[in-house]
Chains A and B, each alone.
Chain A
Amino acid sequence: MRRMRSFVGAAAITLLFGCGGGGGSPAPAAVPPAPTLPADAPVAEDVRAEIEAAWRAASATPDDVELRLAHAARLDANGLDALALAAYEALLQLAPGHARASYHAGRAHAELGQDEAAITDLMRALDAEPGYAPGHRRLGLLYCALGRVDEAERSLTRAHELDRRDPGAALGLARLALERGDADTAARFAASVLAVAPELGFAHHLHALALREAGRLDEAASSAALADGEVPEWDDPWEREVRRLQGGPRMRLARGRALLSAGRTAEAQRLLEAELETRPDDVGVLGTLAATYCALRRHDDALALLDAAAARMPRHNRIPLLASEVHASRGDLTSAIGNARLAVELQPDFALAHERLALLLRQAGDASGADAALDAARRLAGASAEGPR
């Protein structure tokens, strides 16, 4: 999913070369220098220290491509798209065929809204590594977003051929088929993903859309009830290598969530407990660590954290929803239902809360209540389920 553009032009980047902090030996004139981090760049101190260390290492051995890549990737990981792009491009002057550098330069160009340059870089990367399926998918989705459907289809088909298990490529093809008005093909691709990933809400959404456009309204309604309108971030190992270098509180919290989602609860716990020490009032950290404790079956610890979170944000609808899950996890159905009801009360159009309530009521034997809650969830499907921010 493409992020918002930032608008730091190439001219501005050029001005940054050679100025600001850092240190170490200057690069020989023939070798383009790695860009330095401006003194007022909005990064946390620990992130700044890591970036500057990477810069020093890259500048000390200016023709070491891997050190330069590490520096560029650290800029990239921390959202400094324009600087990262400058670093990747400097690297590519040293090593024009470098697949990863081209790839990341393409990603950075895309972030900056420079679509044609992004396409050129991604294609160069794929010339060097033609078997990298996520790269074909990324290129295909970029073409798709630009409405260049033929090129999109070629790239997404290639990605799908290279990795049949990749839901991103298949759903990209489904989305493309919808653009073209080919609802049957779209439904087929979405169904193929659901066959192996039935929990994928976005696949349900595209499936529902395709079925609706094919006139299969009843089936569409069933699929829509399970749909989620949020486009997932598809797995991309090269990008993941970069993301691993993320620093700062926001990045660490995102990493904690990702670790939890991946089932790596011990790592998530370590990271989030350290984070809580420095940010004891952060509701995001409290909630994510509570979810981690729940996964580790430390229910009392989880509920204590959620109490603390609720004390800080009493109207945050996800806190009782999470508490509901914790209570259910330890078998306290009454408290679980009470918290699910509270989540609904706090945000009546929160489909997920209705769905959760329906599940719990069914477990409690309240069939009519469950049906009513499920009806509400269906009715609200497709609407925003975000609570107060």
Chain B
Amino acid sequence: MRRASWVPILLAAGCGGDDADPAPAGGSSPEAPADFRDATEAAGLALTLTAGGTPPRQILEVKGGGLALIDYDADGDLDLFAPNGATLEQPDRGPGARLFENVSEGEPAFRDATTAAGVDFARWGMGVAVGDVDGNGFDDVFIACYGPDALLRNEGGRFTAAAAEVGLGDAGWGTGSSFGDVDLDGDLDLYLVRYLEFDAAAPPPPTTFLGVPVFNGPSGLTGQADLLYLNEGGAFRDVSESAGIRAVRPSYGLGALILDLDADGAPEIFVGNDSMANFLFTAAEGAGDELRFEDVALEAGLAVNADGETQATMGIAYGDVNDDGLPDLFTTNFMSDTNSLHVSAGGLRFSDKTQLFGLGMVSRPFLGWATMFYDFGHDGEEDLVVFNGHVYPETAVQALGSSARQRPLFFERDGARFRRRMPPADGGTWLADARNDRSAVFGDLDGDLDVDLVVAERNGPVRLLRNDGARGGALIVRLADGRSPGNARGLGARVTLEGGGRTRTRWIASGGSYLSACAPEAHFGLGEERGPFILTVRWPDGEEQRAEGVEPGLRVVERN
């Protein structure tokens, strides 16, 4: 989260809108009649997350916390987990994590299962990653914390704290985290992103911005090095030093994505750093069979934007914006900067095409967090959503000419570009709803094959936005790898769908969005196409599995 580098003088406080959104510019489209509908209350999702106080006084309080979609009881639907945060006064004793069991029948519905499932975690949780680390068929939950990290081991739908037992529990400030099979041995390793040195008991003094006290940092504070843990039979070993993760300078990290970006069969680790160059770890030249990475972000064009500037890099979305079968990366950034779209040019080369795709200027008034590509409308093209909210107290943000509460951005494809969908003039929809959002997770929560979402505000209520706008069919692909029970959901797999004269590519990965874990499945909007399609899964170990005659619906691809 990078601070604005210059200061405009606002004419007078209160003259602007309440959501940092200027008058609609050209290149936007009116909202379609049907869209997302707030179904929070009807779904029984009563949850307000805590992340410090309001207004925030310290940098620790502004990051918000993640969410996770997890099928914790292995009944085939997506349940919701929230690690929740705490306050500066009691950073190790917050209101506690919550788990909601999905009991939808047509309409989305959830039931609080926190106690019944044995969830007992009340430290300051930040990021969350989901994966079956012991291969017992039930997904476990890792929580990156301010303070010792947690692993909630899932034993048949009941959780027990197991971090210390399995070699986790770093006491730094963990933010993002991502599971992935980095050594290709069939189980899930863990990359932990860390932010900076911060002592809640002796925090740095505040600084002022236009005469208004604001928190200090990240510039001037000491960054923390990230950690890479290898999974060795369900226990983890810190290999950060030997694997080359420590060779880079400690930075203000916020998120990580483990994905094979160059389609060479070996995963890369992309790390988004705040106000510092991003990392891209790939297998070091000459490493042979040894697990050793080197950072090639600068050479790959992912360290900075096209103007050579470091960015805040809060959220990470991955998708294929140009149908070339290679993952492109979109990152969200501070206001007065643009979000960035780095398009793969093959191999480990990326080009900043933010402007070309129409995603630059439109994002400048917004401070972006969670983001992801999905075909929400089922028109065959992936859309892009970004949730926004400022970090400074309202008085300071107004002096910046903005507001702490900001609208989401929703982009639809318009030929080779993205076009922002504007809220209707009379407001009243999710797009017009200005919030101080942070994290979001995406997945089909009510079993109707479209992608719903759950969004979390900083110190605000969690909202369930049900997708009522999708038209036409869809295919959801889940993986069940009997050969690698330690990564049965196939984190790191590539899924391609051929049909209708084109090939669409998706990836199943951990990480991305912001501090959160989305549904481990591939979603294809199909519109009026009925198939049959050809589905190809490239498993994390490189083996390809092809299925013909695939039709819209939910499909579980198994490998034995």
Contact stretch, chosen from B11-19, B113-121, B429-437, B507-515? B11-19
Establish whether residues B365 and A5, one from each chain, have CB atoms under 8 Å apart when the complex forms: yes
Q: Mark B137-169, 1 if CB is under 8 A from A, else 0.
A: 000000000000000000000000000000000
> Given A145-B355, A179-B353 in contact, is the A41-B11 Cβ separation under 8 Å?
yes
Q: Complex: how many Å from CA A79 to CA B417?
A: 33
Does A383 lie within 8 Å of B3, measured CB to CB?
A: no
Could you say which of A162-170, A209-217, A277-285 contacts chain B?
Answer: A209-217
Stretch from B104-112, B123-131, B182-190, B303-311 contacting the other chain: B303-311
Complex Cα gap A6–B20 (Å): 9
Q: Is the CB of B307 within 8 A of A205?
A: yes
Which one of B16, B20, B220, B402 lies within 8 Å of A387 (CB-CB)? Answer: B220
Point out the residues of chain A lying under 8 angstroms from B26, CB to CB.
115-116
A212, B299: Cβ atoms under 8 Å? Answer: yes
The answer on a CB contact under 8 Å between A213 and B345 is yes
Q: Is B52 an interface residue (CB 8 A)?
A: no
Mark interface residues in A1-35 (1 if CB within 8 Å of B CB, else 0): 01111111100100000000000000000000000
Per-residue B-contact encoding for A208-240, CB less than 8 Å = 1, 0 else: 010011000100100010011111000000000
> What is the CB-to-nearest-CB distance from B508 to chain A, in angstroms, rounded to a whole number?
29
Determine the distance from Cα of A149 to Cα of B417 in the docked complex, in whole angstroms. 12
A52 located at the interface, meaning its Cβ lies under 8 Å from any Cβ of chain B in the complex? no
With contacts A113-B22, A145-B355 known, is A382 near B306, CB below 8 A?
no
Q: Is the CB of B417 within 8 A of A5?
A: no
**What is the distance, in angstroms, from A155's C-beta to the closest C-beta of chain B?**
14
Minimum distance in angstroms from B381 CB to a CB of chain A: 17
CB of B552 to closest CB in A, whole Å: 34
Please measure, in the bound complex, the distance between the C-alpha atom of A3 and the C-alpha atom of B22, giving whole angstroms: 14
Chain B min CB distance to A368 (Å): 21
Do A4 and B9 have beta carbons less than 8 Å apart? Answer: no
**B349 contacts chain A at the CB level, 8 A cutoff:** yes
- The chain B residue sitting closest to A42, CB to CB, is B9
Give CA–CA (A380, B295) in the complex, Å: 12
Please tell me which one of the listed residues B8, B17, B303 contacts residue A383 in the complex, with CB atoms under 8 A apart.
B303
Report B-chain residues with C-beta under 8 Å of the C-beta of A336: none
Chain B residues in 8 Å Cβ range of A217:
299
- Render A120-149 as a binary contact track against B, CB cut-off 8 A, 1 for contact: 000000000000000000000000111101
Take A114-B22, A115-B361, A383-B310 as given contacts and tell me if A3 and B417 are in contact as well, using a CB distance cutoff of 8 Å: no
Q: Which residues of B contact A6 (CB under 8 A)?
A: 8-11, 16, 401
For chain A, what secondary structure do more than half of its interface residues adopt (helix, strand, loop), or is it mixed? loop
Contact A4 B6 (CB under 8 A): yes
Assess whether A249 is interfacial by the CB under 8 Å rule.
no
- Name the one of B249, B276, B309 contacting A229, with C-beta atoms under 8 angstroms: B309
- In whole angstroms, what is the CA distance A212 to B299 when docked? 7
Cβ A384 vs Cβ B275 within 8 A: yes
Do B11 and A38 touch (CB < 8 A)?
yes
Contact of B276 among A43, A116, A383 (CB under 8 A): A383
Flag if B306 contacts A175 (CB, 8 Å).
yes
Q: Which of A144-178 contact B (CB under 8 A)?
A: 144-147, 149, 175, 178
Q: Contact partner of A4 among B277, B299, B355, B401, CB < 8 A?
A: B401
> Is the CB of B213 closer than 8 A to any CB of chain A?
no
**Cβ of B53 < 8 Å from any Cβ of A?**
no
Distance between Cα atoms of A205 and B220 in the complex (Å): 25
Query: A382 touching B16 by the CB < 8 A rule?
Result: no
B455 interface residue, CB < 8 Å from A? no
Residues of A within 8 A of B15 (CB): 7-9, 12, 82
- Confirm or deny: B95 has a beta carbon within 8 angstroms of a beta carbon on chain A: no
Interface string of B233-269 (1 = CB under 8 A from A): 0000000000000000100000000000000000000
Is the beta-carbon distance between A113 and B364 smaller than 8 angstroms?
Answer: yes
The listed residue (B9, B16, B308) touching A79 by CB distance below 8 A is B9
Bound-state Cα–Cα, A31 to B402, Å: 34
Residue of A nearest to B220 (CB): A388
Could you tell me if B8 and A81 are in contact, using CB atoms closer than 8 angstroms? yes
Whether B301 pairs with A213 at a CB distance below 8 angstroms is yes
State which residues 310-349 of B face A: CB under 8 Å.
310, 335-336, 345, 349
Nearest B residue to A112 via CB reads: B22
Q: Are B360 and A145 in contact (CB under 8 A)?
A: yes
Contact assessment for B22 and A7 in the assembled complex, using a CB-CB cutoff below 8 Å:
yes
Q: Taking the complex as formed, is A324 at the interface, i.e. its CB lies under 8 A from any CB of chain B?
A: no
The 3 closest A-B pairs by CB, nearest first: A229-B308, A388-B220, A6-B401
Subset of 5 A-B contacts with CB under 8 Å? A147-B360, A205-B308, A229-B308, A250-B7, A383-B303
